[in-house]
Structure formats: C-alpha cells, structure tokens
C-alpha cells in the first residue's frame, strides 16, 4: 500500500466505534463526569460486530459476506492483509480520557514529545477536546465492512500503546468499557498515577476507603490483562508524603505482586528505597527511583 493510500485511510471518515472501544465525545455543556461516577454499562448488541467468517457467501441474517469479489481478500493472503491492518491502525500512542461516564481516545499528535504525563503537548492546549473531534483516522478502515472489522479490530488493541495518564480511573472500570476479548488483546499500557492522599491502606485488618479500593482495583485489573506485554507505571505523589511512602512500602506493594503477565514491567517511584523493606525485592517488575534520598 502506497503512502498516499495509508494517509487517506488514517485521516478519513469518523473515529467513532462506540460498541468496542467506546470512543465518545464530551458533553456539550463541557462538564466532566464526577470522578467517582460509574461508567455506562456495555450494551448488548442485536448483531455481533465480529463473527466467524464463512467459506462462501451466505444469505442468512447476521452472517457476513466473504467479500470474495474484492481483490483485497481474493488475491492477498491473510498474512499480507494483517500487515496492512498493522500499518493502518497500529503503531500509535492513544491518549485515553473519560467523560460523561464513557471512555474515549486520541491518537498522539506529537509522539516526539518525551513527557509521559498530562503535561504532554497533546493535552496542554484547551483545544484538545476539539482534537478528539478531528482525529478520526484509526477507525476509518474498520468502518468499511464487517470482514475488515473482524480481521483488523484486534490490531487496534494489540499494536497500540494505551496511555491512561489523563484518566487512570478508566483502568478501574476497564472491564465495563471493553468486552473480554478486547481486554485480552491489549498489549501495551502506560500511565502516570497521581496519588494526592498519601499511601493507600491495603491491610486487611482495616476497612478500605474508596481511595484504597481504587489502588487495589487498578492493580487487580492490570493483572487480568492476558495479552499485556509492556507496562510502565509512574507514581506522582506529594513531596511531603515521600517519607510515608518509603516507610509503608512493604504494605503498599502487596497488590502489585499479582501483575505477573507483562514481559516488560517498569515501576517509577519518586522516593528512595526503604532499607528495611522486603516486598520491593519480590515484585515482578523493574523499579526505577527518581530520588535517592528524602532530602
């Protein structure tokens, strides 16, 4: 596929695929959903978007055509088509946000910007919401027909990096946003986790607050992503609380032990190691510390 064709596929049509990725628009009044609000439940579709493809054309309701008249399917083997799907809908960083109880995404406009946070240039401008309306390329190809969708939808999840820095709470409700097979296809996740209230309490002897449940729930959901190969989590804490995080390391890290699937798992911490800590050495990840001392 030539460069002009790829550009057309990435920049044409609309980027709305609500039944799967649930890419949605913000509310017209500009207000965001409350932080603790639950996402809208996944709707049950009358007809599945992805169905087993038949070996011949079928007139049965709900069965997709094999598109045998198309040279794309009749002349190219699946291996070459898969490379086309990866070229058109893969290889991007997708910024994920949450508003009006739904998740939506924005393909990174400035991948050369090294900042992994909401300070990334895609978010700095007040026009970023308009960019959601204008950035439509990734889904265009999937909207052409159901056979293309069935073959290429997995690439959207498996070959893109999902950045949840703008709304890490999406991870808490991820099973409500995506059907199981899409969850299993997600392979790359990154986010900066803003934790303003100090170390969460994960001890079973005490009642957990919503803050504590969020900490435990996000790590639990990450541990359930069967296809996850790359995970990078950076904690963002108040500097005055660094000492408390260091003191409570052994307790706080317990939920992370369950995240064993990623081949590459990096945890970035803004406080020094607790000399007497034991659990950090048992974690299934590489720990990078941005501060060597509490001074």
Interval 215-242 mean pLDDT = 94
The C-alpha atoms of residue 278 and residue 250 are separated, in whole angstroms, by 6
Residue of 277 and 23 predicted with greater confidence: 277
Q: Is the pLDDT of residue 279 over 90?
A: no
Q: Is the pLDDT of residue 254 over 70?
A: yes
The C-alpha atoms of residue 94 and residue 132 are separated, in whole angstroms, by 11
What are 88-128's pLDDT values in tens digits?
Answer: 899 988 888 877 777 778 888 777 666 655 566 676 554 45
Residue of 177 and 286 predicted with greater confidence: 286
Other Cβ atoms less than 10 A from the Cβ of 60: the count is: 6
List C-alpha distances in Å: 88 to 8, 22, 154: 10, 19, 13
The C-alpha atoms of residue 35 and residue 251 are separated, in whole angstroms, by 26
Interval 210-225 mean pLDDT = 94
What are 177-204's pLDDT values in tens digits?
Answer: 889 999 999 999 999 999 988 899 887 6
What is the band of 23 on the pLDDT scale with cuts at 50, 70, 90?
very low
CA 193 to chain centre: 14
């Amino acid at each position: 596929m030539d460069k002009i064709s790829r550009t057309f596929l990435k920049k044409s049509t609309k980027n709305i695929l609500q039944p799967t990725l649930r890419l949605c628009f913000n509310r017209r009044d500009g207000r965001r959903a409350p932080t603790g609000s639950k996402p809208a439940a996944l709707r049950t579709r009358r007809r599945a978007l992805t169905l087993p493809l038949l070996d011949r054309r079928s007139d049965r309701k709900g069965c997709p055509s094999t598109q045998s008249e198309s040279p794309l399917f009749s002349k190219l083997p699946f291996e070459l088509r898969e490379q086309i799907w990866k070229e058109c809908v893969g290889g991007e960083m997708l910024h994920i946000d949450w508003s009006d109880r739904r998740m939506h995404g924005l393909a990174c406009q400035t991948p050369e910007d090294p900042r992994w946070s909401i300070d990334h240039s895609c978010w700095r401008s007040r026009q970023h919401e308009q960019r959601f309306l204008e950035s439509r390329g990734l889904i265009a190809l999937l909207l052409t027909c159901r056979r293309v969708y069935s073959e290429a939808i997995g690439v959207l999840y498996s070959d893109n990096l999902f950045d949840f820095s703008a709304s890490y709470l999406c991870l808490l409700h991820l099973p409500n946003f995506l059907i199981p097979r899409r969850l299993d296809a997600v392979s790359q996740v990154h986010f900066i986790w803003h934790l303003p209230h100090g170390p969460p309490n994960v001890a079973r002897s005490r009642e957990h607050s919503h803050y504590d449940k969020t900490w435990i729930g996000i790590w639990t959901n990450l541990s359930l992503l069967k296809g996850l190969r790359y995970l990078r989590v950076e904690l963002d804490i108040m500097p005055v609380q660094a000492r408390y995080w260091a003191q409570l390391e052994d307790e706080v890290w317990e939920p992370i032990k369950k995240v064993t699937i990623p081949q590459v798992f990096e945890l970035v911490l803004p406080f020094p190691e607790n000399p007497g800590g034991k659990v950090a050495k048992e974690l299934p990840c590489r720990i990078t510390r941005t501060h060597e001392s509490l001074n």
